[in-house]
Structure 1
Amino acid sequence: MNKKFYDYLFDFKNAIPPAKGRVLLAEPLLQGRYFARSVILLVEHNQKGSMGLVLNKPLSFNVNEKVDLFSSCESPLFLGGPVHTNHLFYIHTAGNLIPQSYPLSNDLFWGGDLKTVQNLLDNKIITSEQIRFFTGYAGWDKLQLVDEIDEKSWIVSLLSTETILQEAPQDLWKIAVSELGKKYRHWLNFPENPQHN
């Protein structure tokens, strides 16, 4: 395996293993439309593989412009990843108000009954600040994500639900890296495109 030049600076792998509800932070030089400087919320992680939603890649249009069912939702639609980009996914804080939701933490859930989501939004029982919609997701086969973490493409971290849903998407990677502590602060100084350095 070829070492990345900053492997020689320190081993940045931390002790947090991947798990549902945790986030992946892309190492600063990872490239590509979907994953450069991405923050990915893991919604599934088990022996069969992993599934996540990219939290910080908003598209240039709102949910109500693309999804007729949610005509009252003026929140941005996010690009959740390269897999099944014609499918809609969502995370929310509504919990048991939305049947068939899956808990990711004490106050963050994903999925659930679509018609109920529509009714809750239309009747203003939940606000668009309590839910985020994604088209597509990021997926990994069995052990693929663990291998990528070992190769230092990702670091696993924890973010509060408030940070996930309320922080400006364009700032989320920097905020998440800052929360990792002093050891990772120099990540913030890496150029987004190393060829421009």
Structure 2
Amino acid sequence: MTESLVGQLLVSNPLMGDPNFHRTVILMVEDGEEGSMGLVLNKPSDELVGIHLPVWADTVAAPEVIFVGGPVMTDIAIGIGRGAVVPTEEWAPIVGGISLIDVAFTPDHWGGIETARIFAGYSGWIGGQLAAELATESWIVCAAEPDDALDEEPETLWQRVLARQPGRISLYASFPDDLSAN
């Protein structure tokens, strides 16, 4: 088995043709032989958390909207949070103090939760699928920085993550959105 991608970022190659993942940054939250799961960090929706999950409204990071976690099971809510919470089966550490959380519980349930982000759906791959996509360079694996998961400027996260990479990868940050306009 290869090294786990949990806690890493998958950044879409600017030439990727899949519109579901155009210029996306995905935080990997599960990765194993059976499959992988991640949450898109830079696709905020127009839906306010306070309307759909009012108990979480005062806890979520700006922007206070539900993010589109990916194209799989978009009718379920998934959360990540940061705080001084003792790890349990319900609080699964990912990276930099960020953990996967069950939003069926209230923020008070978690005790020391400081801030959170709520996602509708997730990005998922069956066993071997992500490895194949990595082999075709559809994704660039990048180290996550502590604030990436709760970034308050998601619209520029893709460019900023690429710009901080070494070598030629950083050049992708300046690729035009429409290559025909180059």
TM-score range, shorter chain: 0.7 to 0.9
Asked if 1:194 is matched to 2:168, the reply is: no
Deviates more, 1:168-177 or 1:25-34: 25-34
Match of 1:83 in 2: 72
* Paired residue secondary structure (2:30): strand
Q: Which moved more, 1:22-31 or 1:103-112?
A: 103-112
Q: 1:28: which partner in 2?
A: 14
* Structure 1 position 61, deviation (Å): 2.4
Aligned in 2, Cα 1:68/1:93: closer, same or farther, shift over 3 Å?
A: closer
1:108 aligns with 2:98: yes
Q: Is the 8 A contact 1:80 1:136 kept in 2?
A: yes
Which is richer in helix?
Answer: 1
TM-score with structure 1 length normalisation?
0.79
> Residue type matched to 2:95 in 1?
S
**Conserved in 2, the CA contact under 8 Å of 1:50 and 1:139?**
yes
Structure 2 spans left out of the alignment, 5+ residues: none
Paired residues of 1:95 and 1:103 also in contact (CA < 8 A): no
Who is 2:134 aligned against?
Answer: 149
TM-score calculated relative to the size of structure 2: 0.85
The answer for unaligned runs of 5 or more in structure 1 is: 1-15
Q: Give 1:21's aligned amino acid.
A: G
In the TM superposition, residue 179 of structure 1 has moved relative to its aligned partner by: 1.6
Q: Tell whether the 8 Å contact from 1:102 to 1:112 is kept in structure 2 after alignment.
A: no
User: Cα–Cα, structure 1 residues 185 and 160, in superposed 2: closer, same or farther, change >3 Å?
Assistant: closer
Q: CA contact under 8 A between 1:22 and 1:156: conserved in structure 2?
A: yes
Which structure has greater strand proportion? 2
